[in-house]
A and B are shown apart, each in its own frame.
Chain A
Amino acid sequence: MFRPEFFLYLLTMAGVTYLIRMLPLVLIKEKIKNKYILSFLDYIPYTVLASMTVPAMFYATDIVPAAVGFAVAVLCGYLEQSLVKVAAFSCLGVLITELVIKYV
């Protein structure tokens, strides 16, 4: 079920990931007052997620179905649907497009 070296890999992976999350949370206790730093932190979640998504999403599967999935997600996101609905409709868009390309 497990290879012997697996646990060393697991420790490395989980350890590094945890330290990244833990150190700032534990070390920074004062409220930051500087408005530029606060603004920077306001923008960060959106810029991180956006740069993770574009263009990577278009390569997650074949490019045409992926583009349809992207368009569907943007539309649903614009209509402020829940996380789950947006993800589900996006997958559905990809699935339908793939089936159309394959069989029509």
Chain B
Amino acid sequence: MTATPDLAVRIGSLTLRNPVMVASGTFGYGPEYADLVDLASLGAIVVKGIRAEPTTGNPTPRTVETASGLINAIGLPGPGVDGFVRDYLPFLRRHDVPVIVNIWGRTVEEYGDVARRLGAVDGVHALEINVSCPNIKEGSKAFGTNLESFRRVVDLVRASTRLPVIPKLAPNVADIASFARAAEECGSDAVSLINSIPAMAVDIETRRPKLGNITGGLSGPAIHPVAVKLVWEAARAVKIPVIAMGGIRDAADAIEFIIVGATAVAVGTANFVEPGTAPAVVEGIRSHLVRHGLPSVAALRGTVVA
């Protein structure tokens, strides 16, 4: 029995004090939740998607709640690289938490440009490559579902930075393992999955889509079992760490991901409901390890009996 199990995990050259992050797009850039959550209690903070230039995002309505889920079509509004570095990075540097920046572009070249610029500033610890946002009409979406485009983006980002790079995989592909393997072959330090699942909701009285963008991406507890299956498949296919996300509400959901092979997890939609979810998940993982006599979170990883 170990009273204080080791929760630290490594993602490439980056060591996280615990395996629980907050997912991109669900925690702003940090200041939004700083009154409610001790940022230093997080394994890492993954900030909302950043591209080269400022972006206004999609028209409203941008989200719609469905049964145990949330469809969003926010459209990645953001301040661009310069705005992020100017307006948010100084705040994040003052906190003792690794910062992973989710990056995206409208062209392959833009991904490389963003990676190069963010790799040159102090305070960014890793890059998550968003190739799978379902709400962007330009190339971004295809980069996540076409293996050849996916490789081009990951190759260029890899060549543009020395930071750990983490492609975020789309769930709506025929074979998740082939994307995970491609990421590994291109020199990625980890993969994260799943992004939200393409989805749609219609008002039956007006017969209009409930989102301004017509379609969006489903997140929340509704997608958790889908994510567990895909994380299991991806983790069996690669040696690099898998960061799992999809509908985590509590420690049990996170532990399920770790058992099927995840090295780390990210809390997403639950942040909107219960801002203290991520710290509670850390404590729940710790007590689970103690209860099962495990010395570390690594000892639990991939122990699914299947």
Q: Do A and B bind each other?
A: no
Q: Contact residues of A with B, CB < 8 Å?
A: none
